[in-house]
Structure 1
Amino acid sequence: PVINQVLCHISNTPEKVIQYSQEHGLLVEAYSPIGHGAVLKNPDLQAMAGKYGVSVAQLCIRYCLQLGTLPLPKTANPAHMKNNADVDGFVITDADMETLKTMPTIQNYGEGAGFPVFGGKINDDGTLTRRDFVKRD
C-alpha cells in the first residue's frame, strides 16, 4: 500500500495513525477534511478563520495540509472547488494548530452518522488491533 485514507479533520485528528503511516512511507489522505460540513457553523472556527482572512473550509483544508496529509474535500460546486484550492496564502501558527487538534469531537455528523468506518487502534508496540466495520453513534 502507498496511501492510507482516514477520517481526519478539525475535531477528529488521528495523530497516532498519521504518525504510524508516515513513518512507514504511506501518504495519508484525509477524507472529509471539512468534517462533513459539521464544523462550518462553529463560532470558534469562524473566529479563527476570520483571523487569517479565510473561510472555515479553507482553514480546515490548510489544517490537514499542515498535518502532512492530503485533504480530499468533496464538492460538486465549482465555486467551492476554487475556494478549497486557494489555501496557499496563509499558514496556521503552531499555537493555533494545537488549539485545532484539541477541539471537542463532533458527536453527531447528521446524515453521515450511519456511515461504516474502520475501527481499530495502533498499539504502543506499533502493531494494529483491528475491528471490522463499526457504526458511529
Structure 2
Amino acid sequence: MQFTPELSCPAVKLSNGLQIPILGLGTSHDGGYSHDAVVYALTECGVRHIDTAKRYGCEEELGEAIRESGIPRSDLWVTNKLWPGDYGYKAAKKACLDSRSQMGVEYFDLFLMHWPESSRPGCSNREMRAETWRALEELYKEGACRAIGVSNFLVHHLDELKEDCSVVPHVNQVEYHPFQQPKQLIKYCRQEGIVFEGYSPLAKGQVFSNPTVLQIAEKYQRTPAQICIRWSIQNGVVTIPKSIKKKRIQENCQVFGFQLEQSDMATLDSLHDGRHVTWDPTNVE
C-alpha cells in the first residue's frame, strides 16, 4: 500500500533563486546503506531531496536507486560533498566530475565542501579553502553544480571565504538538533543570504530518551523523532534525517500535518547544552 505524505514538502529559496526541499534523506556509510530504503523513500514517501557524500561510499548504489525509482532527475534535489583529501583546485574539479560519473547524473543540485580543514601539509586551511572554493565556483558557472556550499563551517571560516572569493556559499550544512543550536552561526548565515541546513536532527538517537521531548511527543501523539524534525523545520532549517529503515523513513516524512505551539518550540529551544554528537569544527583555524 502506497504511503501518502500528509502534505507536500515545502521548499526554501536559495540566494540564486533555486528551491531546496526543506526535508531530505541523508545517506551514510555509518549503519550501512539500504538500496531498498532509498527506493522506498523516493517512490512511497514522496522524498525528493537526497543528501550524500563521496566519503559515504555509496554514490554508485545511490545512482542506481534514483534510476530505479523512475522519478525524473529534474524532480529531484541531489546534494554531494567534497572530502578534504580532494581539496585543491585541480583535485576538487576532478573529484566532482568523478562523483557525477559514479552516480550517473549530469549535474548535482548542490555540491559542498565537507569540512573546513585541509589535509594537505604546507598549506594553511584558509589558503586551501579559497583554492578549493574557486574550483567550486567554476563548476557552478559551468553547470556541473546548480548551487555550491559548505558543511561544518563556522562564522570565521565563512568570513574568510567571503573575503577570498566571489560567490557566497548558497548553503552551510551543520549539526543541528535541540542539544546543538548554533544560534550566532544561524543568524550570520541568514544575514549573508546563506541557507542553513541541519544534519543529525535526532542527535544520533539521544533525543529519544529526553524527558522533555518525550512529554511533548505524548502531547501531540507523535514520535520523538517527528517532534524534533518538526521543531527543526519550523525554525526554517533545511533538515536531513538519516535512516535505512522503511518504517523510520515513513515516520520522518510525517511532519507536515501538524504544528508545534510556540510554547513548545521555546521549551525545545531551551534544551541547547552545546553537545556535539558528531565532528566538532570549533578548533579548526
Say which SS state the counterpart of residue 16 (structure 1) adopts.
helix
Say which SS state the counterpart of residue 132 (structure 1) adopts.
coil
Quote the residue 1:32 is aligned against: 200
**2:177–2:203 Cα contact (<8 Å) kept:** yes
Where has structure 1 moved over 6 Å in runs of 4 or more?
none
Aligned match of 2:281 in 118, 125, 132? Answer: 118
1:17 equivalenced with 2:169 (yes/no): no
Structure possessing the higher relative contact order (Cα contacts under 8 Å, 6 or more residues apart):
1
CA distance in 2, matches of 1:10, 1:116: 17
Distance 1:106 1:39, change over 3 A: farther
TM-score (norm. length: structure 2): 0.39
Aligned match of 1:94 in 259, 262, 279? Answer: 262
TM-score (norm. length: structure 1): 0.78
**1:38–1:106 Cα contact (<8 Å) kept:** no
Aligned residue runs from structure 1 range 1-137, under 5 A = 1-103=169-271, 105=273, 112=277, 115-119=278-282, 131-132=283-284
Q: Which runs of 5+ in 2 are unaligned?
A: 1-168
**2:180–2:273 Cα contact (<8 Å) kept:** yes
Q: CA RMSD in A?
A: 1.7
CA distance in 1, matches of 2:224, 2:262: 18
Residue identity matched to 1:50: E
CA distance in 2, matches of 1:47, 1:106: 22
Tell me whether 17-26 or 73-82 shows the greater mean CA deviation.
Answer: 17-26
**1:4–1:27 Cα contact (<8 Å) kept:** yes
CA apart distance, 1:16: 1.5
CA distance in 2, matches of 1:37, 1:50: 17
* Count of residue pairs brought into register by the alignment: 117
